[in-house]
Amino acid sequence: MRKMLFVAVLASTALASPALARDDSWYVEADGGATFIQDMTLRLNGTVTGTTSPYAQGDPVIIASAKTGFDFGGIVGYDFGPFRLEAEASYRRAGLDDLRVPSSTSLLVTGSTFSGRVSTLAMMLNGLIDIGPDDGLQGFIGGGVGYAHSKLRFDYASAPQGTDVTIAMDDGDSGFAWQLLAGARMPLSEHVDLGLKYRFANHPDVAVLMNETVSGEGTINITAPLRTRVRSHSALLTLAY
């Protein structure tokens, strides 16, 4: 009887435990949520063709603002115990909702049209430190470095005082990127974790070309090389196995 009671206690304990230790194991994770991209100040980064530029090198030329967008990605990682190492691919995109000059004057006046978006595809190597037990709510902090490709695309048109003005961009750039991560996770079952994650992502050096056409008595075609950085804040729901 005592032996049967002992077995029953062990069985009930195992059923009540939501997860086994995650240490020394591989895992995969899917992330998805909302992203908030900071205003992008595009600065002069070379010689303007088609006109005499009033801007010096590094001066802000135009500022683009974004709507709330989406961020999703996938991870393959290994849990060493208190430390985790991850290989991550992520993609985020948001539509643009404003275009303005450095004096904060919006170019979106009556009669103008504007559409655009910004996107970033990133491949990162992350390191994370876990805080808390494996079988309950566990926090984590960390960061990552890697390679990103960011692309800016927009079309603007206006006709002030009988002069047609169009500004267009469809260009991108690739290079070094980094991010900071923080969040918490908890076990749903023996092998599945649900979590929340915050991501600050920074692609610090993005070179693009902007084209402007002014039509009136004649047509002027202007090309300006610009440089900006793409920074975003993301709130993500995570599911790991």
With a cut of 90, say whether residue 68 has pLDDT above it.
yes
CA distances from 8 to 13, 51, 134, 182, 189 (A): 9, 85, 25, 40, 21
In the chain, the amino acid numbered 129 is I
What's the pTM? Answer: 0.86
In terms of Cα–Cα distance, which of 194, 199, 198 is closest to 137?
Answer: 194
What is the rounded average pLDDT of the residues 156-169? 87
With a cut of 50, say whether residue 46 has pLDDT above it.
yes
CATH number at residue 87: 2.40.160.20
Tell me the C-alpha distance between 157 and 164, whole Å.
Answer: 7
Q: What is the tens place of the pLDDT at every residue in 114-129?
A: 999 999 999 999 999 9
pLDDT band at 2 (very low <50, low <70, confident <90, very high): very low
Give me the percent of the chain exceeding a pLDDT of 70: 90
pLDDT on residue 105: 85
Any domain includes 199: yes
Any domain includes 8: no
What is the rounded average pLDDT of the residues 118-141? 95
What is the rounded average pLDDT of the residues 209-229? 89
- Structural domain for 227, as ranges: 18-240
Cβ neighbour number for residue 155 with a 10 Å cutoff: 13
Q: How many domains does the chain have?
A: 1
What is the rounded average pLDDT of the residues 202-210? 97
CA distances from 52 to 6, 47, 83, 220, 222 (A): 88, 9, 55, 11, 10
Tell me the C-alpha distance between 210 and 222, whole Å.
Answer: 8
The beta strand positions in 82-218, using DSSP E, are 83-100, 113-131, 138-158, 164-187, 193-215
Any domain includes 11: no
Any domain includes 219: yes
Sign of the torsion angle spanned by Cα atoms 114, 35, 90, 201: positive
- The one-character DSSP state at 106 is B
- The one-character DSSP state at 4 is H
| The pair of three-digit structure tokens given for residue 51, joined into one six-digit string | 């006109």
| Least confident span in 152-161, 175-184, 209-218, 225-234 | 209-218
Any domain includes 198: yes
Any domain includes 3: no
Give me the percent of the chain exceeding a pLDDT of 90: 73
Any domain includes 4: no
In terms of Cα–Cα distance, which of 103, 74, 109 is closest to 88?
Answer: 74
Under 8 Å between Cβ of 181 and 199: yes
